[in-house]
Amino acid sequence: MKLSDTFLPSAGVVGLLPMVTYFMLVVAMYAFLATFLFTSMTRSTVRSEYRISYVISAMMSAVMGFSYFLIQSAYQDVLAELTTLTDAGNRQVLIRESYNLLSSFRYMGWAVTVPLLLLQTTFVTNRAVKETRKPLTIMLLASVFMILASYIGVQQLGFDHEIQTGPKLIWGVLSLIGYVVVGTSLRRGWTHIVGSATSEAQWAYRLMASSIVTVLGIYQVGYWLTLLPIDFNWIQIVVSIADLVGIIGATLVLYWIARKEA
């Protein structure tokens, strides 16, 4: 029996980058679990007008924590398979093909967390529902369309699991349109929604909206980078960091202004 059959393989067997990737996936899972526990335990310490946004943070953390549990579990199988391959080219083929499965889990999680992030960012202004209904509806629909189009694009594979460039480009452009709509709506929200909010709420909206645009932009870049001959482990690492910044960062901003005003 090989150690890799029971335990995780070492970097000497599968390479340093795959092990760093696995490290990031597990750390992200733990971080989302910790965030879920933090928001659950401190919910009563924030002002009542921020409680809904705080609950949203807990929901996002739970969803992404479970998503990363699935991702790291699947990646363990990738590591085990890597131990059976000695050719560098075959290893890259495995990493490229497995990335599509791992991405599926991410897009399923994003289909829930991205709309929730937009809800949270809008709710932090504490404006009346009638004032935010239209721009929020547009953002939510655009975000779901963006994630769904990207997910369909990731599934554009041939029988041999090779990426079908043409169809993936088409779905990527459609997803990019959704991204532009979300970013434009967030910018307009600053003008039409946030104007009469408190200074702390304005600061929080600006920071959270900027974070969303940046994180979603990283998702978009990761999508397009899969068309290039690079090691997809780099995409895994960067996207994992973006997930952490997007959700945990929003939670910390929300907690800070809720406690500051208390």
pLDDT of residue 66: 96
Query: Mean pLDDT across the stretch 145-159?
Result: 90
Confidence of residue 58 (pLDDT cuts 50, 70, 90): very high
Cβ contact 260:233 at 8 Å: no
Worst-scoring range by mean pLDDT, 77-86, 194-203, 223-232? 194-203
Does the structure show a pLDDT above 70 at 234? yes
User: Tokens for 79?
Assistant: 């590591």
- pLDDT for 262 equals 46
Residue 233 clears pLDDT 60, i.e. is over it: yes
Is domain 12-261 in CATH 3.40.50.10440, yes or no?
no
Lowest-pLDDT range, 15-24, 29-38, 152-161, 212-221?
Answer: 152-161
Confidence of residue 1 (pLDDT cuts 50, 70, 90): very low
- Give residue 218's pLDDT: 96
Question: What pTM did the predictor assign?
Answer: 0.89
Does residue 222 carry a pLDDT above 50?
Answer: yes
Is the pLDDT reported for residue 127 higher than 50?
A: yes
pLDDT for residue 211: 93
- Among 22-36, 122-136, 145-159, the least confident range: 122-136
pLDDT tens, 82-103? Answer: 888 888 888 888 888 888 888 8
User: Is 258's pLDDT higher than 70?
Assistant: yes
Rounded distance, CA 138 to CA 112, Å?
Answer: 16
User: Mean pLDDT, to the nearest integer, of 126-142?
Assistant: 78
pLDDT of residue 115: 95
Q: Which of 35-49, 60-74, 188-202 has the lowest mean pLDDT?
A: 188-202
